């Protein structure tokens, strides 16, 4: 097998969220009746239930009317938009951001993540990633021919921190890791790293001269007014060694516009722009104009949104905890839950397929987030409240059905 074929065999997207429609399901012979109910796709948020920021389409249309100036921005994005955004992001993260040097706009946070990794990982580099964490992290390291060094997140250990195994992180740095990538709040568990954990991460990275890429996609949707610590604002780490990634695709429901932003290290932002020049040129020119609405939502809009999500979380967590053999840590930020289920007669991937075919419920299997999570699945509960609760009932029924059954 040649190098490239090998690389793409590892780069499977069959179970990735949103790709379920491409799964080959004809080999599954489900032994149970279909369970009726309104279909729910928990693989991503429902932007019909929670709509985009008011005025976002108007901002896009204004961008179109600006014409060529907005269509052809610098590869890192239009300067006027970067200026406004740098100010808002600096306020939010409590740091300083030079719009000319420290910011790049990208096609979604996925775009930012790809560019940041492509700008840092060379062949053979050891890269520390968390398990569980966003499913693309591992794939990115592998695509750039790096070596994954996993660090465990023991998220059931405590509820006063995320549960990162800091000694494993230090071991990783000692073994030669020069890059640490993680999401905060963690995807898929929705837990927040404590201030102590962030300071430890910063301190270790500084001590070993490592770079840190932190994906803060869901950092605006914090429940119960918890404390959230922005790594980039910690003075324990050289700011040239930190890239922070955010975007309005989740809480703000702007995913259809494909917008993300990375900010931090001037050197890395420069590289990311050079790479963007050959990857996609720029975030869609007109789309960039939509960023004007971000962090400028109507008064009370964000508070309402957080409250509504917290209410859904509360109901789902209660349902899950009441189900026999289930376990879940409650989301602290963002819209993910990562329940652990009892042992079944089928694999987690088979369970996920059966769940979709029998009960119209789409979830993401735990193995996408780390090979050891064959007993868990992720949901994004940014859904119609009632539909989500009903769908979770069906999940529990299907688990019950497969406790001792297998698929032929």
Mask for 59-88, x = binds a second copy (CB under 8 A): -xx-xx--xx-xxxxxx-------------
Of 81, 80, 36, nearest to 257 by C-alpha is 81
How distant is the alpha carbon of residue 104 from its chain centre?
19
Interface with a second copy, residue 336, by CB under 8 A: no
Shortest Å distance, C-beta 325 to a second copy: 32
Among 1, 2, 227, 408, binds a second copy (CB under 8 A): 2
Select 21 or 225, whichever has its Cβ closest to a second copy. Answer: 21
Among 96, 122, 196, 235, binds a second copy (CB under 8 A): 122
Site for a second copy in 92-111 (CB under 8 A): 106-108, 110-111
Query: Using alpha carbons only, how large is the chain's radius of gyration in Å?
Result: 21
Identify any residues that bridge with 333 across adjacent strands, giving them in sequence order: 222
Asked if residues 344 and 403 have their Cβ atoms less than 8 Å apart, the reply is yes
Site for a second copy in 3-42 (CB under 8 A): 3-4, 7-8, 11-13, 16, 18-19, 21-22
Interface with a second copy, residue 255, by CB under 8 A: yes
Residue 100 structure tokens: 């000319």
d(CA 77, CA 301): 27
What's the first-to-final CA gap in the chain, in angstroms? 32
Among 82, 282, 329, 356, binds a second copy (CB under 8 A): 282
* H/E run at residue 183: strand 179-183
Identify any residues that bridge with 128 across adjacent strands, giving them in sequence order: 149, 180
Select 138 or 329, whichever has its Cβ closest to a second copy. Answer: 138
Interface with a second copy, residue 224, by CB under 8 A: no
Asked if residues 221 and 297 have their Cβ atoms less than 8 Å apart, the reply is no
H-state helical runs in 94-211: 108-118, 135-143, 166-174, 195-207
Site for a second copy in 338-377 (CB under 8 A): none
Interface with a second copy, residue 225, by CB under 8 A: no
Q: Say how many C-beta atoms besides its own lie within 10 A of residue 12's C-beta.
A: 11
Residues of this chain that interact with a second copy (CB under 8 A) are 2-4, 7-8, 11-13, 16, 18-19, 21-22, 44, 46-48, 52, 57, 60-61, 63-64, 67-68, 70-75, 106-108, 110-111, 113-114, 119-123, 125, 136, 139-140, 143, 145, 255-258, 271, 273-275, 277-287
């Amino acid at each position: 097998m040649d190098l490239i074929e090998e690389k793409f065999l590892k780069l499977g997207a069959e179970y990735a969220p949103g790709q379920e429609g491409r799964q080959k399901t004809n080999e599954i012979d489900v032994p149970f009746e279909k369970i009726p109910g309104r279909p729910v796709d928990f693989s991503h948020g429902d932007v019909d239930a929670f709509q985009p920021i008011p005025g976002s389409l108007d901002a896009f249309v204004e961008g179109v009317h600006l014409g060529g100036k907005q269509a052809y921005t610098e590869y890192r994005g239009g300067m006027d938009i970067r200026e406004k955004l740098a100010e808002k992001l600096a306020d939010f993260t409590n740091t300083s951001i030079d719009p000319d040097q420290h910011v790049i706009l990208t096609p979604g946070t996925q775009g930012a993540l790809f560019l940041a990794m492509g700008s840092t990982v060379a062949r053979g580099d050891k890269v520390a990633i968390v398990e569980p964490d966003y499913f693309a992290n591992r794939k990115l390291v592998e695509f750039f021919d790096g070596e994954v060094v996993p660090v465990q997140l023991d998220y059931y250990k405590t509820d006063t921190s995320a549960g990162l195994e800091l000694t494993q992180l230090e071991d990783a740095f000692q073994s030669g890791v020069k890059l640490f990538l993680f999401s905060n709040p963690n995807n898929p568990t929705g837990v927040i790293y404590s201030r102590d954990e962030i300071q430890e991460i910063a301190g270790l990275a500084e001590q070993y001269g490592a770079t840190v890429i932190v994906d803060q996609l869901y950092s605006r949707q914090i429940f119960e007014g918890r404390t959230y610590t922005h790594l980039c604002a910690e003075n324990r780490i050289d700011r040239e060694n930190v890239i922070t990634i955010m975007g309005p695709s989740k809480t703000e429901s702007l995913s259809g516009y494909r917008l993300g932003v990375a900010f931090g290290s001037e050197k890395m932002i420069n590289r990311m722009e050079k790479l963007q020049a050959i990857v996609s040129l720029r975030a869609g020119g007109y789309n960039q104009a939509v960023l004007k609405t971000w962090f400028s939502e109507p008064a009370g809009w964000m508070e309402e949104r957080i409250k509504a999500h917290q209410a859904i979380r509360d109901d789902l967590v209660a349902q899950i905890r009441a189900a026999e053999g289930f376990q879940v840590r409650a989301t602290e930020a963002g819209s993910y839950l990562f329940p652990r289920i009892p042992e079944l007669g089928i694999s987690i991937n088979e369970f996920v397929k059966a769940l979709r075919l029998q009960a119209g419920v789409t979830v993401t299997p735990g193995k996408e987030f780390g090979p050891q999570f064959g007993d868990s699945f992720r949901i994004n509960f940014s859904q119609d409240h009632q539909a989500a609760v009903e769908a979770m009932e069906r999940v529990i029924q299907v688990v019950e059905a497969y406790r001792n059954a297998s698929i032929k």
